[in-house]
């Protein structure tokens, strides 16, 4: 429809009111789809409103790259983002690290190096060798450029070694939202750091 396309083009150009209108129109259908999948996949730790918030944040960050290809394209795009977020919850639950392996007292430089390795950075050759302090500064600098929720989830979960339950409490979110935010935050941080670090290994 012409009106939807016009709103999309305005949103792609940076008009937040246009994007907000598109998201508000799509929200009821997305919410129903989300609730159905939460029930179907047995994701009791997930709150549908958390899923929508993370999905809308990603839409805000990605809208400039969205290509309108006909009526319903925007809603389908949002649905894919939401489905990916729910898939990240499942992956997070299945790949959850043992609590005893998490350390809240880890050296900040070690934590930054571990985070860089998680993103796919490797220092196996002399040309990639980097002082821990320099790497820490690069990682923390990239972290500072992320949206607040992304920055906080990485700080609490990856750098401070807190449990998903602790992070959820600190951020007033569900445990499922922590897994979603972590996945999106790592993806965004890798993009931010790609200009200063060589990511030759796949992201974990």
Give the model confidence (pLDDT) of 116-171 as tens digits: 777 776 655 444 445 667 777 888 888 999 999 999 999 998 888 888 889 999 99
Alpha-helical segments (H) within the chain:
2-12, 16-41, 48-62, 73-94, 108-119, 132-143, 148-154, 164-171, 175-193
- Specify whether 88 is located in the same domain as 105: no
Reported pTM: 0.67
Mean pLDDT rounded to a whole number for the chain: 80
Q: Which among 39, 73, 94 is the end of a domain?
A: 94
Contact between residue 180 and residue 89 where contact means Cβ atoms under 8 Å apart: yes
Q: What is residue 149's predicted lDDT score, i.e. its pLDDT?
A: 92
- Specify whether 87 is located in the same domain as 154: no
Q: What is the CATH number of the domain that holds 40?
A: 1.10.1740.10
Q: Which domain holds residue 183?
A: 100-193
Selection from 47, 85, 46, 77 nearest residue 59 by Cα: 77
Q: Which among 72, 94, 116 is the end of a domain?
A: 94
Torsion angle of alpha carbons 167, 168, 172, 176, nearest 10°? 140
Q: With 90 as the cut, is the pLDDT of residue 100 above it?
A: no
- Collapsing DSSP to helix, strand or coil, 199 comes out as strand
Q: How many residues does the chain have?
A: 204
Q: What is residue 96's predicted lDDT score, i.e. its pLDDT?
A: 57
Q: What is residue 126's predicted lDDT score, i.e. its pLDDT?
A: 43
């Amino acid at each position: 429809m012409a009106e939807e396309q016009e709103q999309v083009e305005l949103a792609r150009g940076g008009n937040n009111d246009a994007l907000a209108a598109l998201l508000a129109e799509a929200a009821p259908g997305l919410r129903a789809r989300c609730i159905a999948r939460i029930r179907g996949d047995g994701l009791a730790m997930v709150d549908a409103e958390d899923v929508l918030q993370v999905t809308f944040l990603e839409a805000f960050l990605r809208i400039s790259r969205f290509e309108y290809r006909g009526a319903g394209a925007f809603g389908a795009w949002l649905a894919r983002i939401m489905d990916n977020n729910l898939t990240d919850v499942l992956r997070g639950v299945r790949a959850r690290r043992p609590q005893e392996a998490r350390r809240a007292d880890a050296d900040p430089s070690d934590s930054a190096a571990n985070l860089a390795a998680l993103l796919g950075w490797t220092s196996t050759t002399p040309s990639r060798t980097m002082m821990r302090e320099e790497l820490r500064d690069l990682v923390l600098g990239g972290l500072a450029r992320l949206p607040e929720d992304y920055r906080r989830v990485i700080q609490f979960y990856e750098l401070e070694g807190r449990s998903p339950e602790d992070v959820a409490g600190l951020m007033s979110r569900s445990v499922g939202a922590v897994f979603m935010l972590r996945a999106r935050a790592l993806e965004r941080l890798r993009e931010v750091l790609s200009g200063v670090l060589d990511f030759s290994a796949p992201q974990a």
